[in-house]
Amino acid sequence: MKPLLADKFDQALLFASRLHAADLRKGTSIPYLAHLLGTASIPQEHGANEDEAVAALLHDAVEDHGRAQLTAIREQFGGAVAEIVAGCSDTDEIPKPTWRVRKEAYLRHLPNASASVRLVSASDKLFNARAILRDYRDIGEPLWGRFNATKGEILWYYRALVRALRKAGSTPLVEELDEVVSQLERVAIKT
């Protein structure tokens, strides 16, 4: 029996670890690869195929390291993976447009994106929402200083993500994202 995750996933893990070797999670000393591994685990729990799992590992390559990465991904991992990564990227422009412009464009795109893009995107957003909730419980209001947006904007964005994903249909993953976002709203709005 062929394993679900084979050579392509192994190669993507090496690609991601090299590309993001010097990257850290915002405002922490956590290697960025931890985010990519965590994100890649979530779609696998929701029936992802190998291309979706690989794209989850690579989902931030273009957004964080430029559009040349999309060409490299297409060449090494194929068109399906490249299309998912492109669909999960809020920009490939350098310099990046403003935070709000990028997020509004992403929200408009998401409801009509492929099921694979929505799966990887929802996985990424769930991982991030969990991390924000955990860190908020640990350090409180100083957490918001890590972002290029205000607390209100971050909360708006995560709630809007849930609505955008639901436009394409509810899934257990979207419902879990909604639960975590609701928890985050409850604890963050109290203060």
Q: Quick: pLDDT tens for 151-168.
A: 999 999 999 999 999 999
Tell whether 30 is covered by a domain: yes
The pLDDT of residue 132? 96
- Residue 80 pLDDT more than 50? yes
The pLDDT of residue 191? 60
CB–CB of 118/95 below 8 Å?
Answer: no
- The predicted model gives 53-73 an average pLDDT of 94
Please state, in angstroms and rounded to a whole number, the distance separating the CA atoms of residues 68 and 75.
11
The pLDDT of residue 1? 39
- Domain region containing 168: 7-190
- Tell me the residue length of the chain: 191
Per-residue pLDDT band for 4 (boundaries 50, 70, 90) equals low
Looking at the chain, the whole-number percentage of residues with pLDDT higher than 90 is: 82
Please state, in angstroms and rounded to a whole number, the distance separating the CA atoms of residues 62 and 73.
9
Tell whether 114 is covered by a domain: yes
- The predicted model gives 59-66 an average pLDDT of 90
Tell whether 2 is covered by a domain: no
Interacting residues of 123 by C-beta distance below 8 A, sequence separation 6+:
39, 40, 42, 43, 46, 56, 173
Interacting residues of 116 by C-beta distance below 8 A, sequence separation 6+:
51, 52, 55, 80, 83, 84, 87
pLDDT tens-digit map of 96-112: 899 999 999 999 999 99
Please state, in angstroms and rounded to a whole number, the distance separating the CA atoms of residues 8 and 5.
7
The pLDDT of residue 43? 96
Tell whether 81 is covered by a domain: yes
**Is the peptide bond between 95 and the residue preceding it cis, with omega within 30 degrees of 0?**
yes
The pLDDT of residue 165? 98
Tell whether 11 is covered by a domain: yes
Closest CA to 157 of 130, 185, 190: 185
pTM of the complete model = 0.94
Which CATH number fits the domain that encloses residue 100? 1.10.3210.10
Tell whether 1 is covered by a domain: no
- Residue 6 pLDDT more than 50? yes
- The total domain count for the chain is 1
Per-residue pLDDT band for 146 (boundaries 50, 70, 90) equals very high
114 versus 66: the higher-pLDDT residue is 114
